Amino acid sequence: MTPAQAERYESVHEAAGISFHKPNWIMFGSWADEYDGDESEVVFQFSVKKQIAYSNFYVAYTQRSYWQAYNTDESSPFRETNYNPEIFYRIHPENALARWLGNGPFIGSLGMDIGFEHESNGRSMPESRSWNRAYIAPYYAYEHLMITLKAWYITEDSKETPTDGESGSNNPDIADYMGYGEISVKYQTAYEQMFDLRVRGNTKTNKGGANLIWSIPLGYEGAFVMVQGYHGYGESLIDYNRSISRVGVGLMLTR
């Protein structure tokens, strides 16, 4: 197989299949005491994407679930699940910084995702939560560092209150707690350990949230021990306006 044929094969293979999108992980043990139910629960995230017909368009789906697995007195229910489909266009010009600035230190690679996403918890009122966002997310990568800035516009009209009969967002004040953007910083250290920090918020209300994941590779490819700490609003949609502090330990499959 020639190099050109190999490159074509890889492109076809990627377009024909499904690849991972956001990190995939499961925390077998986590603890927080600000929500209803047992303080300890299992939390997991599943995320995949699919390229559309060899183009730079992708469709993606992410799901995060909060499972009261140890709450046997109430038959171990799922406390909350958030469903997050999206479509986006990825711009990834090769050596963009080098072309603009010339060769030199800190010349990495630039890219950008432009997309639209819906997120909801699939429940009926008064527990229903959902929002629709158009977003732009430029990113920069250099050696072991990757920085992503994501800004969004909430496209759905808001109700005056969540229980109004009019159509619109079931959580009209969500921007007060989730803000209009977030920053993500990933840094890989010695022995392929990675620190992933994500911060978002609203400077007018001084509310937001911060999430830090430390992942350590196991002895074989494709699995990492993870330790997570979260503090702030919006850890899940049902708790978008409630401050949660969580610590957890688990297994990460993709990061």
What whole-number distance in Å separates Cα of residue 132 and Cα of residue 86?
10
Polymer length of the chain: 255
Amino acid letter, 47: S
Concerning whether 118 is annotated as a catalytic residue, the answer is yes
- Among candidate residues 19, 109, 118, 243, the one labeled active-site is 118
Helices (H), 37-122: 96-101
DSSP letter for 75, please.
Answer: T
Q: 30: which strand partners?
A: 41, 248
Torsion (CA) 172, 123, 118, 56 in degrees, nearest 10: 170
**Exactly one of 40, 47, 76, 120 is catalytic; which is it?**
120
Question: Is 120 a catalytic site residue?
Answer: yes
Long-range contacts (CB closer than 8 Å, 24 or more residues apart) made by 227-236? 228/27, 228/30, 232/201, 232/207, 232/208, 233/177, 233/178, 233/207, 233/208, 233/209, 234/174, 234/177, 234/178, 234/200, 234/208, 234/209, 235/209, 235/211, 236/64, 236/66, 236/80, 236/82, 236/121
Structure tokens at 65: 């679930």
> Which residues belong to the active site?
118, 120
